[in-house]
Amino acid sequence: MRVTVDPGRCDGYGNCVMTVPDVFDLDDEGRAVVVEDEVEPGRADVLRAVVACPYTAISTHED
Ligand code: SF4
């Protein structure tokens, strides 16, 4: 499963980083970046981060 963050929608806060620190990090401007963009299909903590993002900035794509 591929994970992406839309930098135009992300407004920081870092909920995703706190939820899944091995997949998300914050860059120097405080926006989320994906540090591990291929994760196991249906990975629950990543899907929780998708739902928890207040700006719907995180997307997942099944290859
Ligand atoms: S939860 Fe959403 S808005 Fe917050 S840092 Fe992550 S991607 Fe950005």
- Domain region containing 49: 2-61
Residue owning the nearest CA to atom 2 of ligand 1: 53
**Domain CATH for 9:** 3.30.70.20
Ligand 1 contact, 53 CB (< 6 A): yes
On the CB side of 21, how many CA atoms lie within 13 Å of its CA? 1
- Cβ 17 vs Cβ 25: under 8 Å: yes
Q: Write the burial class of residue 41 (CB in 10 Å: 0-12 exposed, 13-18 middle, 19+ buried).
A: exposed
Residue 63 pLDDT class (50, 70, 90 cuts)? confident
Q: Identify which of 3, 5, 59 to mutate to test ligand 1's pocket (most ligand atoms within 8 A of the CB).
A: 5
Contacts for 15 with CB less than 8 Å, ≥ 6 apart: 49, 52, 53, 54
User: How many structural domains are present in the chain?
Assistant: 1
Q: Model confidence over 8-59: pLDDT tens digits?
A: 999 998 999 999 999 999 999 999 999 999 999 999 999 999 999 999 999 9
Residue 7 has pLDDT above 90, yes or no: yes
